[in-house]
């Protein structure tokens, strides 16, 4: 699953689909094909979509902690 589909679900406020995509490895940091190249987190913050912001930030934190452990 790519970031494009995840961005669409974030934009539409489909929280359960956002959760499912993150569990299945969707790229939460994938930049869009637009001029600004926004990620799903950018979209969630801009739209004040608090549940999605929380999920995306938590996923980011998990991956950062995992990267630190690997060092």
At residue 20, the pLDDT reads 92
At residue 1, the pLDDT reads 46
At residue 50, the pLDDT reads 72
At residue 52, the pLDDT reads 73
Of the candidate CATH numbers 3.20.20.140, 2.40.40.20, 1.25.40.20, 3.20.20.70, the domain formed by 3-70 belongs to 1.25.40.20
Q: Please, how many CA atoms are within 13 Å of residue 70, restricted to the half-sphere of its CB?
A: 6
Domain boundaries, the chain: 3-70
For 66, phi then psi, to 5°, come to: -65, -40
Q: Report, in angstroms and rounded to the nearest whole number, the Rg of the chain calculated over CA atoms.
A: 12
Burial class (CB in 10 A: 0-12, 13-18, 19+), 14: middle
Digitized pLDDT (tens) for each residue of the chain, 71 residues in all:
455 688 888 888 888 898 899 889 888 888 888 888 888 888 887 776 677 777 777 877 777 777 777 76
d(CA 51, CA 66): 23
């Amino acid at each position: 699953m790519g970031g494009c589909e995840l961005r669409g679900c974030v934009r539409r406020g489909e929280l359960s689909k956002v959760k499912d995509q993150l569990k299945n490895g969707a790229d939460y940091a994938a930049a869009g094909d637009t001029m600004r190249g926004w990620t799903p987190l950018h979209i969630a913050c801009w739209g004040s979509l608090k549940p999605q912001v929380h999920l995306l930030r938590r996923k980011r934190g998990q991956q950062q902690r995992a990267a630190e452990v690997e060092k």
